[in-house]
Amino acid sequence: MTISLNNLGIVHRTIQRADPAAVALLSKFGVATLHEAMGRVGLMKTYMRPIYKGARMCGTAVTVLLQPGDNWMLHVAAEQIKPGDVVVAACTTDNMDGFFGDLLATSFKARGAHGLIIDGGVRDVDTLEEMDFPVFSRAINAKGTVKGTLGSVNIPIVCAGAQVMPGDVVVADVDGVVIIPAAVAGEVAARAQAREDNEGAKRDVFASGVLGLDYYKMREGLEKAGLKYID
Amino acid sequence: MTISLNNLGIVHRTIQRADPAAVALLSKFGVATLHEAMGRVGLMKTYMRPIYKGARMCGTAVTVLLQPGDNWMLHVAAEQIKPGDVVVAACTTDNMDGFFGDLLATSFKARGAHGLIIDGGVRDVDTLEEMDFPVFSRAINAKGTVKGTLGSVNIPIVCAGAQVMPGDVVVADVDGVVIIPAAVAGEVAARAQAREDNEGAKRDVFASGVLGLDYYKMREGLEKAGLKYID
Amino acid sequence: MTISLNNLGIVHRTIQRADPAAVALLSKFGVATLHEAMGRVGLMKTYMRPIYKGARMCGTAVTVLLQPGDNWMLHVAAEQIKPGDVVVAACTTDNMDGFFGDLLATSFKARGAHGLIIDGGVRDVDTLEEMDFPVFSRAINAKGTVKGTLGSVNIPIVCAGAQVMPGDVVVADVDGVVIIPAAVAGEVAARAQAREDNEGAKRDVFASGVLGLDYYKMREGLEKAGLKYID
Amino acid sequence: MTISLNNLGIVHRTIQRADPAAVALLSKFGVATLHEAMGRVGLMKTYMRPIYKGARMCGTAVTVLLQPGDNWMLHVAAEQIKPGDVVVAACTTDNMDGFFGDLLATSFKARGAHGLIIDGGVRDVDTLEEMDFPVFSRAINAKGTVKGTLGSVNIPIVCAGAQVMPGDVVVADVDGVVIIPAAVAGEVAARAQAREDNEGAKRDVFASGVLGLDYYKMREGLEKAGLKYID
Amino acid sequence: MTISLNNLGIVHRTIQRADPAAVALLSKFGVATLHEAMGRVGLMKTYMRPIYKGARMCGTAVTVLLQPGDNWMLHVAAEQIKPGDVVVAACTTDNMDGFFGDLLATSFKARGAHGLIIDGGVRDVDTLEEMDFPVFSRAINAKGTVKGTLGSVNIPIVCAGAQVMPGDVVVADVDGVVIIPAAVAGEVAARAQAREDNEGAKRDVFASGVLGLDYYKMREGLEKAGLKYID
Amino acid sequence: MTISLNNLGIVHRTIQRADPAAVALLSKFGVATLHEAMGRVGLMKTYMRPIYKGARMCGTAVTVLLQPGDNWMLHVAAEQIKPGDVVVAACTTDNMDGFFGDLLATSFKARGAHGLIIDGGVRDVDTLEEMDFPVFSRAINAKGTVKGTLGSVNIPIVCAGAQVMPGDVVVADVDGVVIIPAAVAGEVAARAQAREDNEGAKRDVFASGVLGLDYYKMREGLEKAGLKYID
C-alpha cells in the first residue's frame, strides 16, 4: 500500500476486485464468524452502526477519501461503481457532516451498489430505509456538504480504524463491519464454513446443558492458573 | 437576544409565535430539506436522537433553561404551552438526568404540546411511545430530579449547540432537529418547496443512471482542480 | 464488601440470593419506579443499553470480573447460574470486545439465566434476539476474546458505575439498569407498589389538564425562590 | 440576535464594542468570579482549554463562523481586528482541524489582538507560546485547512455552547472562558469587585478554622432537610 | 458495604481509618507500584487527572456523595476531616460543575486535609496550585454550585469506577489514583516494598542491554505460543 | 501492505528503514510543516498527546500490534530496535491499559530507541520524564498488563488512524504525530525545507501589518464567492 505525496486528487479506474465466487460465499456468513475466520483482524471500530434495523451488505470495495464538509468525491466515486460494489468512504479528519442522502443513493443503486460504509454522517435516513439501501455510518446528520476540494477514489484508505484496499470484500451486519482482503477471500470463506459447521454442533451440545468448562476441557487450565472455588 | 444579569428566575408569558400558516407548511418537509432551505444553519448537534423509531414533530418553541438534576422549570413551562407548541429545554451545564417522564408528558399533551426537545435525559420511554408523545433527547435515564433551583422559561437559549428563541419553529425527524426563526418561517417554507420540487425531478434522472458528474456538470471543475484518472 | 488482595482468581459457589417472592414482586415494576423506590441510588450509567428493542429482565445477580479481551470467567460463571439468575459482568478496565455471543447464551439459557448485563461488548445480536435472550451492554462488537487470564466470579463488583453484590436483584428495561440489594428487596417492592398506585391516580389528574404547579402546590415555593412572571 | 437566511457570507465592519473602561476593570478578575457575578450564565463548555500553561486573555469579541476544514474567514476577520479584540471562532459543525497557526497569529498580533478562542484545532503551539499569543481551543492539530467556502464575520455565534455577540467581553483563564455581554460589562465588573472584596475576608475566616457550616449558618437548613449524624 | 434505602442524608462521624503507620509507609510508593502490590484492583478511571503538574497525595478517605450542581455536602464533610485525610467525592450522576474552589480548599487545609479526589469539576485552579493543595478531578470548570439537596458523608461510594470505603487509603500521583482498603494497608505496603527492591535491580540489568526476553525467560513461551520470526 | 490470515504471531526481523540522511533532515522540521509537505496525509488522531511538556522525537518505525491488556509483544519488539528507531504500537481493540513503564523504557533506551508512540496507556510518567524518554500516548494509566497472547512485530499497522509500515519515519511534537513513508522521506524533507524558507519571509510580512487578504490576493476570490461587507 502506498501513501505517496500524490495521494490526493487521484481516481484509479482499474481495480482488482475479489473473485465474485468468493464474494458470493462470504455473503452467507455473519461478521462475527468472518472476523474469527480472518484470524481476528480487519474489523472497523464499534461506532460504525447500521442506520436502520436489518441493514446488512456484502460487496467489493470502491474506496473514497473525502475532505471535511465536502462530498465531491462521492460523485466521482459513483462512476467507478460496478454491480456488487460497496462504497467505503473515509475522511481526512473526524467529520460527521451529512455527506450522503437519497439522491446519491439513487445514483449508487442505479449503478448496482450494494451499500455504503462511511466514517461520517448521512441523511434522508427514512428514504434510504424505504429504498432498502443499506448504510453503516458514524452519525446521522441533516447537515449538507459542499463540492470544492479534491480527495481521491480507489486509493488505500483507513476507514474507522480498518485498512481498506480497493477491491477488498466488505461485509456488514448488526455485529459490525469487517474487511476481507481480496487475495484471501476464498480462504476466509472456507474457514468460515468450517467454523459454522462446527458451531451448529456446539449449539446443540450447550442447549442440552453441557458446560463450556467441560466441552472445551477448561477445568485443568483454570486449576493450573490458580482458580480457587470457595463454598 | 439578551443575555442579561437577570436571566435566571424569569418566565415570559407573552411570546411571538411563528405564523401558524407557515408552521403548517413547514411541517410537510424533512429536516434535511429545511436545513438546506435555511442556508445551512440552525441544526442541533447529532447527539440529539428520537427516543423511539418514527418520532417526529413540528411546532413553535416554548424554551426552558433547566438547572442540573432539577426539573422544576418543566412544571413552570407546562402552564405556558399553547396547542402546537414544542418545549425546547437546555440545561446550565451538561447533565443527563431523567428530567421528564410520563406524568409531565401527560400534562404537556393535555396542553396541546407537539413534543419535547431536551438536551438531557428522559425516562418512561415505553409509555411515551405508547402515548405517541415524541421526544428527542441526549440520553435515556431512569434517574429522577428534584425541584429546588430556579431556571427560566421563554428566554433565548442555546440547546445542543443551536440558538433557540421562544416562538421559533422546531422541526425534528430521524435526520435531526432544526430551528427556524419565526421571522423567516414563511420564506423557508417557500424555499423548501422549491427545493423539493427540484429534488423529485432529479431522483428520476439519477434512477435512470445519469451521473451527478454530468447532471451537475462537475467534470470541468474537477479537471481544473487537478483530478487525475489513472487506468 | 471486601476488596482484598485475593480478589482475582476466586469463585464463590455459595451466595445469598434475594428472596424469590420479593424478586417476583420487583419484576412487575419499571426501572424508573424502582430507582425512585430505592431512594435514587443504584442505577448504572446510561451507556448501558438493550441490544434489541423490548429486551428487559429481572433476576438475581451472579457477578463476574473479566479481564480485557478475555471471556474465560463467563464460562466459569455459567456453572454458577441457577434458574432466575442474571449474569452481571464488569471488566478490570474499559474494554468493549465481544465477550459474549450465541453459544454462551445457549449455555446460560440452558442453566435458566434471565439475561446478561455486561460493561463491555457482545456479538451475534440477531441470534440473541431470535433466542429472546436479553442483554444490556456498552457496545456491540464482532471481535472475539481469548481464555487466558483469571478474573473472579461472585465477588462484589462495580459495573457501569453501580455496586453489585452477588445475589442482588437486577432489573433492566428501556430506561436503564438498577441494582436492588438483596436485603431490601421486599421493602423496595412495597415502596414501588405504593408509588405506582399513586402515579396512576396522578396520570388521570394531569390528563384532565390540572397542572403540576397546582397539584404539587409549587406556586408558593416558586414565588419565594424569586420567580418573576413577565407579560 | 438574528439567525436569518443571510447568515453566511457576511462581514459586519461596524460593531458595538463594550466600553473600554469596563473591559479594563473586567480584566482584573478571574473567570470563576466573573461567572458568579454574571448570575451563572455565559460559560463555554469545559473542553475549551488553554494551549499552554499561563495563557489568559481579556478583550472584545470579533466573531467568526468557520466552515469545516476551511480557515478563509480567519483571514477576513484579521482585517476587522482592533487593538484589544479577541477573535472568537465557531464552526458550522464539529471539526478539530488546525485552523490557526503562527502566521495568522503574527497577523492578529500585528493588529493588536489579545488572543483567540476557537471551537476547533490550532497548530504551531510551541511558537504561539514563544510569541505569548494566548489561545483557548478544543484541540491541538497539525492538520491544515483550505480557503474555499464562505462563513461570516461579526455575526452572532454559538461557540462551545455559549452565545457570543460581536463586541461582547471575553475573559479566559485556567478555569474556563466566559462571555460578558457588552451592555452589562460595567455592572458585572462592579459585582465582581464586591464579590472579591467579600471573598478576601472569608479566606481569612476559613484559614482560621471556622467552618462554612457555621459561617454560612447551614446547620439549621441541613437539619430541616433531614440530615442525620450517626456516631 | 450496604447500599440501603437510607443512603442519602447521612453523615457517619465515626470511621475506621487505616493504621497511620501503614499510611506513612504507603506514601513512599507510586500508584503504579501500589496497584501491582494490590493485585491489580482498586484503580480509578484514567479521566481523573491532577489539576496541576506535580500534584500528588496520600491519606485516609473521608467519602462524600454529592448531588448534581450542589456542593452542600462538601461543607458538611469539612467538619469530618481529621489531619491526614483525603476527601473523596462522587456524584449521583455524571456532572462536571465546579463543586470546589479556593475557599473550601482553605477550610479543608485548615482541618489538615491532604487533598481532594472528585469525580466532577473544580475551579480557582491557579490559587489551588499556589496553596499547594492537590486535587485530582474529572474537569476544570468555573461554574459554581448551589446548596440545596442532601447527599451523604462517610458512606461507601463508587468514585470514578472504584469502590471507596471511609478510612481507606487513597494514593494519587501522575499515573492515577488507587484505593487501598484500610484492612490490607500494611500488607500492601510490605508487598510494594518488596516489589520496589526488585525493580531497582532490574533497572540496572535492563540498562546494561539485557533483554526482558532473556531476563524473564520468555523465549520458550513465545515459541510454544507459535511466534514465528521471519528474516 | 498485506493483511493476511497470518497477521498475528509474526516478527519480521528485516525491515527497510528510511534513508538515515533523510531522517536527519526530517528531524529539523515540525509536524505541522511536515504534514503540509506530505500533501496533508499521514497524521495520527489528535488524542495522541505527549506525556510530558517538551517531549518530541524523530526516528524509523518498529511497529507492534498488541492484544488488549497484554504487553508481551513490546518485549519482543525490544530486540528488533536499532539505534534511531521509534516503537509504534497499536492494539487490536481500543484499550488504555498501562502497557509500558520505566523498565521497558530502560530497555528501549539501551537499544537506542528514540521514543514510543502508543495507541494505549503508559505509566511511570515521572520517571519517563526524568529519563528524558519521549512518549506520545492516548492515556496515562497505572494499570499493568499480562504476557499471554501473541500479536506481531514489524507488520503494517493502523495506529491512531494512520497507516504505519515498518521503517517509515515517525515525527512527533506538540502539534501531533506524522508518519512519512520511507520511500518519500527525502522528497518530503526537501519540500519541508522549501516551505519553511517561504514561511520565514511571510512571518516578517505579516508582522509588519500586511494582511493575508492582500498578501495571498484573496479579495477577488472572496468577492466572487459572494462575500458582502456591511457597515
Instruction: Give the tens place of pLDDT for each residue, B112-137.
Output: 999 999 999 999 999 999 999 999 99
| Helix (H), strand (E) at residue A118 | strand A115-122
| Burial (0-12, 13-18, 19+ Cβ within 10 Å), E209 | exposed
CB-based contact E4 C181, cutoff 8 Å: yes
In terms of residues, how long is chain E?
Answer: 231
F69/C67 Cβ within 8 A? yes
Burial of A230 (0-12, 13-18, 19+ CB in 10 A): exposed
pLDDT at B37 over 90: yes
- By C-alpha distance, which of D168, D180, D177 is closest to D55? D177
- Running DSSP on this structure, what letter comes out for residue B184? G
Q: Contact partners of D by the rule of 3+ C-beta pairs under 8 A? A: A, B, E, F
CB contacts, 8 Å: E225 with chain F = 9, 149-150
Q: What would the 3-class secondary structure string for chain F be?
A: CCCCCCCCCEEECCCCCCCHHHHHHHCCCCHHHHHHHCCCCCECCCCCEECCCCCCEEEEEEEEEEECCECHHHHHHHHHCCCCEEEEEEECCCCCCEEECHHHHHHHHHCCCCEEEEEEEECCHHHHHHHCCCEEEEEECCCCCECCCCCEECCCEEECCEEECCCCEEEEECCEEEEECHHHHHHHHHHHHHHHHHHHHHHHHHHCCCCHHHHCCCHHHHHHHCCEEEC
pLDDT in tens, B180-223: 999 999 999 999 999 998 888 899 999 999 999 999 999 999 99
pLDDT in tens, chain A (231 residues): 344 566 789 999 999 999 999 999 999 999 999 999 998 999 999 999 999 999 999 999 999 999 999 999 999 999 999 999 999 999 999 999 999 999 999 999 999 999 999 999 999 999 999 999 999 999 999 999 999 999 999 999 999 999 999 999 999 999 999 999 999 999 999 999 999 988 888 999 999 999 999 999 999 999 999 999 999
Residue F149 pLDDT level (bands cut at 50, 70, 90) = very high
Q: What is the model's pLDDT at position A5?
A: 60
Question: Is pTM beyond 0.90 here?
Answer: yes
Task: Using CB atoms within 10 Å of the CB of residue F54, give its burial: 0 to 12 exposed, 13 to 18 middle, 19+ buried.
Answer: exposed
Chain centroid offset of residue C47 CA: 12
Contacts of B97 in chain E (CB under 8 A): 68, 93
Integer Cα distance of C154 and A178 in angstroms: 35
Question: Would you state the cell numbers that stand for residue C16, as one nine-digit string?
Answer: 445469598
How far B121 CA lies from chain C's nearest CA (Å)?
A: 9
Distance in angstroms (rounded) separating the CA atoms of residues D90 and D157: 7
Rounded distance, CA A25 to CA F160, Å? 32
B44: DSSP letter: P
Residues of E at the B interface, defined by Cβ within 8 angstroms: 67-70, 92-97, 141, 143, 146, 148-149
pLDDT at residue C6, rounded to an integer: 61
Which residues of A lie inside 8 Å of B (Cβ-Cβ)?
9-14, 53, 72, 75-76, 78-79, 96, 98, 101-104, 106-107, 109-111, 121, 123-126, 139-144, 147, 149-150
Beta strands in E54-196 (DSSP E): 57-66, 85-91, 98-100, 115-122, 135-140, 152-153, 157-159, 162-164, 169-173, 176-180
Q: CA of C104: how far to CAs of C122, C127, C219, in Å?
A: 11, 12, 56
B202 vs F52: CA distance, rounded Å = 55
| Chain B: touching chains (3 or more CB pairs < 8 Å) | A, C, D, E
User: Could you give the CA distance from residue C153 to residue C144 in angstroms, rounded to a whole number?
Assistant: 20
Burial degree of C44 (CB within 10 A; 0-12, 13-18, 19+):
buried
Q: What is the pLDDT of residues A132-169, one digit of tens each?
A: 999 999 999 999 999 999 999 999 999 999 999 999 99
CA distance D78 to E111: 52
Task: Look at residue D198 in the predicted model and tell me its pLDDT.
Answer: 85
Chains E and D lie in contact, requiring 3 or more CB pairs less than 8 Å apart:
yes
Kindly determine whether residue A211 and residue C79, on different chains, have CB atoms separated by under 8 Å. yes
Nearest Cα residue to B78 out of B113, B27, B39, B40: B113
What is residue D6's predicted lDDT score, i.e. its pLDDT?
A: 61
Is residue E182 within 8 A of residue E17, CB to CB? The reply is: yes
Cα separation of C66 and C63, whole Å?
10
- Residues in chain E with CB shorter than 8 Å from the CB of F111 are 209
Return the amino acid letter for F171. Answer: V
pLDDT at E201: 86
Task: Please indicate whether, in this complex, the C-beta atoms of A32 and C111 are within 8 angstroms of each other.
Answer: no
Q: C149 contacts in F (CB within 8 Å)?
A: 69, 146, 148
pLDDT, tens digit, 9 for 90 and up, residues E92-103: 999 999 999 999
**Total residues belonging to chain F:** 231
**Cα C94 from Cα F141, distance rounded (Å):** 11
Q: How confident is the model at residue D64 (pLDDT cuts 50, 70, 90)?
A: very high
Assembly ipTM? 0.94
Cell numbers given for F31: 509536524
pLDDT in tens, D181-212: 999 999 999 999 999 988 888 999 999 999 99
Query: Where do the H-state alpha helices sit in D83-174?
Result: 102-110, 125-131
| C-alpha cell read off for C152 | 473472579
Q: Considering only the beta carbons, identify the residue of A4, A163, A184 that sits closest to F5.
A: A184
**Alpha carbons C43 and C37: distance in angstroms, whole number:** 12
Asked if the Cβ–Cβ distance from B184 to D156 is below 8 Å, we say no
Count of CB atoms within 10 A of residue D204's CB? 10
Separation of alpha carbons F149 and C149, rounded Å = 10
The answer to whether D5 and B39 have CB atoms below 8 angstroms apart is yes
At B1 the pLDDT is: 39
Measure CB to CB from residue A176 to each of C104, C106, C142 and give the nearest one.
C142
Using a CB-CB cut-off of 8 Å, the residues of chain C touching F69 are: 67-70, 92-93, 95, 149
**Which three cell numbers mark B80?**
405556558
Q: What is the mean pLDDT of residues B55-82?
A: 98
Q: Say how far apart CA A174 and CA A41 lie, in whole Å.
A: 18
Whether residue B169 contacts residue B26, with contact meaning beta carbons closer than 8 Å, is answered with: yes
Cell of residue B211, nine digits: 451521473
Q: Using CA atoms, how far apart are residues B99 and B74, in angstroms rounded to an integer?
A: 8
For residue D5, the model assigns a pLDDT of 60
Please list, in sequence order, all residues whose beta carbon lies within 8 angstroms of the beta carbon of residue B195, skipping any fewer than 6 positions away.
B33, B36, B37
Label the pairing between strands C169-173 and C57-66.
antiparallel
Contacts (Cβ under 8 Å, ≥6 apart) of A226: C9, C150
Cβ contact, residue pair F41, A188, below 8 Å:
no
**Among B33, B31, B73, which residue's Cα sits nearest to residue B179?**
B31
Set of chain C residues whose Cβ sits within 8 Å of the Cβ of E2 = 181, 183
Give the pLDDT confidence score for residue E6 in this predicted structure. Answer: 61
Question: Given an 8 Å threshold on Cβ–Cβ distance, is C176 in contact with B9?
Answer: no
Q: Tell me whether residues B78 and C212 touch, CB distance under 8 A.
A: yes
Q: Which three cell numbers, joined as nine digits, stand for B64? A: 426552558
| CA closest to C226 among chain B residues | B9
Cα distances (Å, whole numbers) of residue F148 to A212, A221, C8, C99, E222:
21, 13, 17, 17, 9
Helix F72-80 to helix F102-110 angle (10° resolution) is 20
Question: Is pLDDT larger for residue A84 or for residue E39?
Answer: A84
**E64: closest CA of chain D, how far (Å):** 13
| DSSP state for residue A213 in the 8-state scheme | H
